[in-house]
């Protein structure tokens, strides 16, 4: 059974700092990996999706990498801002059409 773990569970940083969020998964035979953002009391917003054949994806200040062989992904946030404060979740899909398995998320606070 696929298990997804995110470390740390919570992170507090000063504004402007570059930071890395970690995601690990137990079964490396994945179809894709997706990073989401969740604001308090809101739904999930997709940030980046990395297909199994890709090594990384970038969107603005966000960069996600994928190392299937080691079962790891990282989300890099450059020059963090208070507006980046949210919970970040990663999820893996094992085959096309199968369900997503989610990690429990990292709660990020960026202090002004």
Nearest approach, Cβ of residue 91 and another protein (Å): 8
DSSP-assigned letters across all residues of 45-87: EEEEEEETT-SEEEETTEEEEEETTTTEEEEEE-S--GGG-EE
Q: Toward another protein, which CB reaches closer, 48 or 80?
A: 48
Residue owning tokens 């998964």? 25
Q: Toward another protein, which CB reaches closer, 57 or 80?
A: 57
List for the chain the helix, strand, coil content (%; round to 5): 5, 55, 40
Query: What does the binding site for another protein look like in residue numbers (CB under 8 A)?
Result: 31-32, 34, 36, 41-46, 49, 51, 89, 91, 93, 96-97, 99-100, 102-105
Q: Toward another protein, which CB reaches closer, 14 or 97?
A: 97
């Amino acid at each position: 059974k696929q298990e997804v773990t995110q470390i740390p569970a919570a992170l507090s940083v000063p504004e402007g700092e570059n930071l890395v969020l970690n995601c690990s998964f137990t079964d490396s035979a994945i179809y894709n990996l997706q990073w989401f953002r969740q604001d308090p009391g809101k739904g999930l917003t997709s940030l980046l999706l990395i297909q199994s054949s890709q090594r990384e994806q970038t969107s603005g200040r966000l960069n996600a990498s994928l190392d299937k062989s080691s079962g790891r992904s990282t989300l890099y946030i450059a020059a963090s801002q208070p507006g980046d404060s949210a919970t970040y979740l990663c999820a893996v899909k094992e085959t096309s059409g199968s369900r997503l398995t989610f990690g429990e998320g990292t709660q990020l606070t960026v202090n002004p």
